[in-house]
Amino acid sequence: MELLFFIQNMENYGAEIMNNQPRLDELISLQDAAVLSGLSQPHLSLLIRQRKLWGKKIGRNWVTTEQAVREYLARDRKPGPKPQNNPELP
């Protein structure tokens, strides 16, 4: 029911907005994205909420695209604390 509502609403958007949105056949579940990326579903949903990975919530389920996952994985994302850019330190 919620997916049908989402599809109907996407059809109502203007062409200029639709050009920025993925096609419905490009959407994948976070379960599929987890298999593709090697990351857990909870971590992927966290990345989406932090806007580090493109995604959309449909009802209670998150979806993303294979392209968004591949673009995220291609970024330089080193774990751990980030260095401070403090010009006063040697």
What's the CATH code of the domain at 52? 1.10.10
Mean pLDDT along residues 61-80: 89
Is 81 part of any domain? no
Is 1 part of any domain? no
Is 67 part of any domain? yes
- Residue 29 sits at φ, ψ, to 5 deg, of -75, 165
What's the pLDDT at 73? 94
Q: Please state, in angstroms and rounded to a whole number, the distance separating the CA atoms of residues 54 and 68.
A: 6
Amino acid identity, position 40? S
What's the pLDDT at 22? 86
Is 31 part of any domain? yes
The reply to whether the predicted model has a pTM over 0.85 is no
CB atoms within 10 A of CB 19: 8
**Alpha-carbon 28 to chain mean position:** 10
Mind listing the pLDDT tens digit for each residue in 8-38? 555 554 443 445 788 888 999 999 999 999 9
Percent of the chain with pLDDT over 70: 69
**Alpha-carbon 74 to chain mean position:** 14
Residue, of 39 and 77, whose pLDDT is higher: 39
Domain containing residue 55: 24-76
Mind listing the pLDDT tens digit for each residue in 33-52? 999 999 999 999 999 999 99
Q: Which residues pair with 65 in a beta bridge?
A: 27
Is 47 part of any domain? yes
Is 66 part of any domain? yes
Is 51 part of any domain? yes
Mean pLDDT along residues 82-90: 63
Count of structural domains, the chain: 1
